[in-house]
Amino acid sequence: MKLDLDVQVAVATPGLPGEDALREWVSTALRGAGAKRDAPELSIRIVDEAEMTALNQRYRGKSGPTNVLSFPFEAVAEVDTGLLGDIVICAPVVAEEARAQDKPLHAHWAHMVIHGVLHLLGYDHHHEREAEEMERLETTLLEKLGIPDPYEPVEGK
């Protein structure tokens, strides 16, 4: 699958995944979710807490930063495009969550990227049935990457 991935890094922090890892995680999500576009296009923007807080407030009406936001592209009916949309990930929040959950940082990054891509493809978790379906798919995709179930508590925690 040809993938047009635009990566924007707007924060300098250690532990950020490289473009190859991001591309692998996006491709895994697209293939695993049965994406139909031949050459999907999307952007991933990695930001700090201030930028994510502003976006979270503006688009969700919620205060404070969140880990990932997805902005699906909505084309007019007559226009065929490969554009899926944009994913914004807050690096400090992802790092703090990984630390707090005692998970490897790369594993949590993979989860956040896959989660964001699934949102672009129409998956959601507002209702219990939707959440279960999305979590099952995330777990399956992460397993293909050798990453344990992110929803299972870590032993000893």
Chain segment 96-141, per-residue pLDDT in tens: 999 999 999 999 999 999 999 999 998 888 888 888 999 999 999 9
What integer pLDDT is reported at residue 32 of this predicted model? 87
At 93 the pLDDT is 98
pTM: 0.91
Q: What is the 3-state secondary structure (H, E, C) of the chain?
A: CCCEEEEEECCCCCCCCCHHHHHHHHHHHHHHCCCCCCCCEEEEEEECHHHHHHHHHHHHCCCCCCCEEEEECCCCCCCCCCEEEEEEEEHHHHHHHHHHCCCCHHHHHHHHHHHHHHHHCCCCCCCHHHHHHHHHHHHHHHHHCCCCCCCCCCCCC
pLDDT level of residue 38 (50, 70, 90 thresholds): low
How many whole angstroms separate alpha carbon 73 and alpha carbon 153? 34
All structural domains of the chain, each given as residue ranges with its CATH number in brackets, are 4-144 (3.40.390.30)
Confidence of residue 156 (pLDDT cuts 50, 70, 90): low
Q: Looking at residue 152, what is its pLDDT?
A: 84
Binning pLDDT at 50, 70 and 90, where does residue 154 land?
low
User: pLDDT by residue (tens digit) across 42-101?
Assistant: 999 999 999 999 999 999 999 999 999 999 998 777 676 778 999 999 999 999 999 999
18 near 7, Cβ under 8 Å? no
Quick check: 20 pLDDT over 60? yes
Between CA 82 and CA 35 the distance in angstroms is 10
Q: What's the token pair of residue 44?
A: 């991933």
